[in-house]
Every structure is written in structure tokens, then in C-alpha cells.
Amino acid sequence: MTKVFNFSAGPAVLPRAVLEQAREELVDWHGSGMSVMEMSHRGKEFMGIAEQAERDLRALLGIPATYKVLFLQGGASMQFSMVPMNLLRGKASADYINTGEWSKKAIKEAARFGRVNVAASSEASKFTTVPPRGEWRLDPDAAYVHYTPNETIGGVEFPDIPDVGRVALVADMSSTLLSRPIDVSRFGLIYAGAQKNIGPAGLTIVIVREDLVGQALPGTPAMLDYRIHADNDSMYNTPPVYAWYIAGLVFGWLKSIGGLPAIAEINRRKAQKLYDHIDSSSGFYRNPVDRHCRSWMNVPFTLIDPALDDAFLKGAKAAGLLQLKGHRSVGGMRASIYNAMSEEGIDALISYMQEFVREKG
């Protein structure tokens, strides 16, 4: 098999060990004679898989017992609606922090259900930084504060969890959950589409403090009500069984390599190496993001002359370095270096970047 490194922003690379285990178990899971795709979600085999996945996720993140863990569908984009529908709880407005394209989408959707107060924005800097906490104009009566800890497109990541006092903090962690340890108890709700750093597309993880569940807007459809999913252990309807199973394998893989402290150390090293290389390229490569809030997971960079982009991508592909093209809204390149991207992949990318400068610089 050809060796490649896949830098896709999502759906993204999965750990090789997970794919191999899935292949082993594909046709006949643990002697059941069935594939996980073919099992009743209410049978004892799948119930075991589902419970193990939740236990492992709770252990990895240290999720307190007072939080529900939901395995849903609809992607992070559906959470843009479910969050206001469930968390406004009769209040007039919610606070949102605008740090990029995903924040903007969340804001647009929330505005259908209530008043959105954009309490801070980094739009004036073209989203190359995060607004300092001291400048946020939070409303003490807000239903919640929503922010995007890692903006996947802009490559901007909050270096720490902002203090918002007693108001519930809600985070779209689609592209950062499981990249490092976090204190879940600081949040009211965390959500993440799986296809960046967790598993296959089709699964969405929601971690929600129990007291926030059960006050959905009148008329909320059952499928959009956290209480319905929580009361039914995420099996109100048929869950995405295969995606849930693969996510479980990813959690097992993370545990086997030492959990989130271990992966955080690797991720920090990977990102540092790549940014150091970009910064020391005498301007041939450039990342526009303020150093203190550069993403560990998504590294956008431009070339000194955009006319070189096509040649860069073509040579990269020939070298087995795939899906480096930047998001259409920003151009240039983007290397997404999630948990499953090995340090070897970073080294291969850096060697190619050096070689390209030698040829074209």
C-alpha cells in the first residue's frame, strides 16, 4: 500500500491502528457473525459497544457524573440550532464571541431563536487573533455564552478557557475536542462533529450539564430536544451505530497511548515544529495568526506568491502529502494535523516545504 499523509480538515485521517482493527472486525464482530453495521442498536452486542465508548470518553475527559454524554447526528451545524432551542430557557438573549467562519454560522442560526449579543469579535483583524477577555461585553442575564475554541478555517485557537462567571459557557469543539485535557466542569455544554478528531462523519458528541437539559422552547421537535436523547441514552431513534463504534475504537486507541496528557504533548510538539518552520522560512511561507492563539490542529499558511500554489499542491501530492489546499474562503494551504497525524507526517511535510523552496525560492 502506498504511504500517504492526509492533511484534510475533515473528514480527516483516522489512526491506522483503528482502521486495521475495524478491518479485522468488519465482517464478523467478536464472533457474533455480524458486522457492527448489521446489529440491532438495542441488542446486547451494540449496547456493550455503546456503553464502553461512553465510559472511555468519560474517562479520557474526566467528565463529571453531573453531565450527560449524547451521541447524536446532524453534525456541529445542527448544534447551531439545538443549542439556542434548548438553552435559551425563556431568556431574551445569548452572548456569542465571533472569531471566524464557524462562529459566524453559529451566530446566524441562533438569531432565528432569540436575540444574539455579539459580545466580542476579532473580525476587524480578519480573524487572526482572539479578542482579549477584558474587552468582552458580556450580559450577566444572557442565557449562555457561546464561543469556538478552535476555528478550523482560520486556524485560531483560544489558549485557555475564558472565565464567564456564572453564565453557562457553550463551546463548539469540533476541531479540538480530545486534542488536550480540558476541565469539563468549566462548561455548560460542549459539542463536536466527530469527523475532525473523533471518528467518522455522521456522529456528533454533546456533553451537557444536567441542569441545562429539559427546558427546550415550546414546539421543539423531539429529535432536537436534548431531554429526549438523554432520557433514551441517545437511542430515541436509530443512532449512527458504525460511527459510534469507530469513535469507540478511537477512544480506546487514545487510552492505549497514554490518554490526553500524552496526545497533548505530541500535538504541542507537532504544531511547534511546523510553525517554527513556517516562521523561519524568511517569508516564503507565512501564517497570519497571532502566536499566542495559533491552532494546534489546523495550520493555514500562504506561499510568497499565490502563483506557486498549484505547483506546491501538485508536488505535495506526488510526495504523498494529500489535501493541503486551503479553505476556499482564505486560499493558500492548510495542514490539519489532528491526533491521528503522526510526527512522521509533520517531518515529511517540512522536508517537502524545504525542497520546494530550494526549487522555487
Ligand X SMILES: *Cc1c(COP(=O)(O)O)cnc(C)c1O
What positions carry a catalytic annotation? 102, 172, 196
Considering the complex, what minimum distance in angstroms separates the CB of residue 193 from ligand X?
3
Kindly state the smallest distance separating residue 350's Cβ from ligand X, in Å: 24
Q: Is residue 10 at the binding interface for ligand X, with CB under 6 A as the rule?
A: yes
Ranges within 146-205 binding ligand X (CB under 6 A): 148, 152, 172, 174-175, 193, 196
CB of 103 closer than 8 Å to CB of 153: no
Q: Are strands 285-286 and 321-322 parallel, antiparallel or unpaired?
A: unpaired
CB of 298 to ligand X, least distance (A): 8
Site string for ligand X, 17-46 (x = CB under 6 A): ------------------------------
**CA neighbor of 61 nearest in space, from 338, 251, 226, 298:** 251
Site string for ligand X, 285-324 (x = CB under 6 A): ----------------------------------------
Q: Which is nearer to ligand X, 153 or 241 (CB)?
A: 153
Write each residue from 77 to 116 as x if it is in contact with ligand X (CB under 6 A), else as -, in one continuous string: x------------------------x--------------
The nearer residue to ligand X, 77 or 215, going by C-beta atoms, is 77
Q: CA-to-CA distance for 171 and 55, rounded, in angstroms?
A: 22
The residue range among 12-20, 75-83, 181-189, 227-235 that interacts with ligand X, by the rule CB under 6 A, is 75-83
Task: Return the residue of 6, 18, 71, 75 that touches ligand X, per CB under 6 A.
Answer: 75
Whichever of 10 and 15 has its CB closer to ligand X, that residue is 10
Stretch near ligand X under the rule CB under 6 A, chosen from 57-65, 73-81, 89-97, 208-216? 73-81
- Considering the complex, state which of residue 194 and residue 348 has its C-beta at the smaller distance from ligand X: 194
Choice from 49, 76, 198, 337 touching ligand X (CB under 6 A): 76
Q: Of 46 and 102, which has the nearer Cβ to ligand X?
A: 102
Distance CA 177, CA 6 (A): 19
**To the nearest whole angstrom, how small is the minimum distance from the Cβ of residue 174 to ligand X?**
4
Please give the size of the binding site for ligand X, defined by CB under 6 A.
12
**248 vs 347: CA distance, rounded Å:** 29
Q: Measured between alpha carbons, how far is 325 from 344 in angstroms, rounded to an integer?
A: 20
Distance CA 181, CA 260 (A): 5
CA distance 293 to 158: 6
* Nearer CB in complex with ligand X: 102/187: 102
The CA-based dihedral angle spanning residues 152, 153, 159, 163, taken in that order and rounded to the nearest 10 degrees: -80
Task: Report the interface residues with ligand X, using CB under 6 A.
Answer: 10, 75-77, 102, 148, 152, 172, 174-175, 193, 196
